[in-house]
Amino acid sequence: MNAGETQRTPWIVGVSGASGTPYAAAVLRALLAAGESVDLVVSRASRLTLLDETGISFRDAHWADDLREWLARGADGKPDTFTVDVGAVRYWSAGDLAAGPSSGSYPTKGMIIVPASTASVAGVALGLSKDLLQRAASVTLKERRRLVVAVRETPLDGRTLRHLVTLDDAGVTVVPCSPAFYAGATHIQDLVDFVAGRVLDAAGVPHGLYRRWKGELGGGAER
């Protein structure tokens, strides 16, 4: 880096193969709207959930076009609901274990896994590093950077609950993908945005995705 050049310090966003690709889209849109740069890792399994939930085939060779189409889609499935500039995104293939985020010397602000599958929760808790998503999470932990894990599964069995406690003990913020109903949701997007907003609260990134509790019952009805 030359003198005077500012260092790019992105958030890593890992999308794993749990249901809930609209949560990932809402988090990505909000990070970009907040002026953050993003390093994106899309697990192999999440290509199936993305295909199932949006009809989009995510291709490494055409990631920017596929990402733009995905982020433009509303949680109700309508295309071209949002306009998103993906210029601040750097994409890494999930199999690329030589990628930037696989090393602690690569500067990042931290990592968000959204949605997090129980498999990715297990892999991170056990330090498996079976792909770039899990390796980047292990690096984030060893470098004592912020890690937010938005887990999506129901019901949860003892193994996953134990893995989540391990993550909590390691300083991870575990955010279950469970929307609340006090914020006056009237559309699916509102419920998605509530979860995405709580994920960004945990990461410390400002956003206006949901109506915050103001201390008065019925405040959500003002929407």
Ligand X SMILES: Cc1cc2nc3c(=O)[nH]c(=O)nc-3n(C[C@H](O)[C@H](O)[C@H](O)COP(=O)(O)O)c2cc1C
Q: Which residues of the shown chain bind ligand X in the complex (CB under 6 A)?
A: 16-19, 43, 45-46, 48-49, 52, 117-120, 152-153
Annotated binding site for FMN: 17-19, 43, 117-120, 152
Closest by CA to 114, choosing from 38, 41, 214, 16, is: 16
Q: How far apart are CA 12 and CA 59, in angstroms?
A: 19
Annotated binding site for dimethylallyl phosphate: 182, 198
Q: How far apart are CA 84 and CA 81, in angstroms?
A: 10
Annotated binding site: 17-19, 43, 117-120, 152, 182, 198
Nearest residue (beta carbon) to ligand X: 17
- Residue closer to ligand X, measured from CB, 60 or 182: 60
- Residue closer to ligand X, measured from CB, 153 or 193: 153
Cα dihedral sign, 195-184-32-52: positive
Q: How far apart are CA 57 and CA 170, in angstroms?
A: 35
- Residue closer to ligand X, measured from CB, 130 or 146: 130
Residue 25 tokens read as 């889209």
Minimum separation from the CB atom of position 48 to ligand X (A):
4
- Residue closer to ligand X, measured from CB, 90 or 130: 130
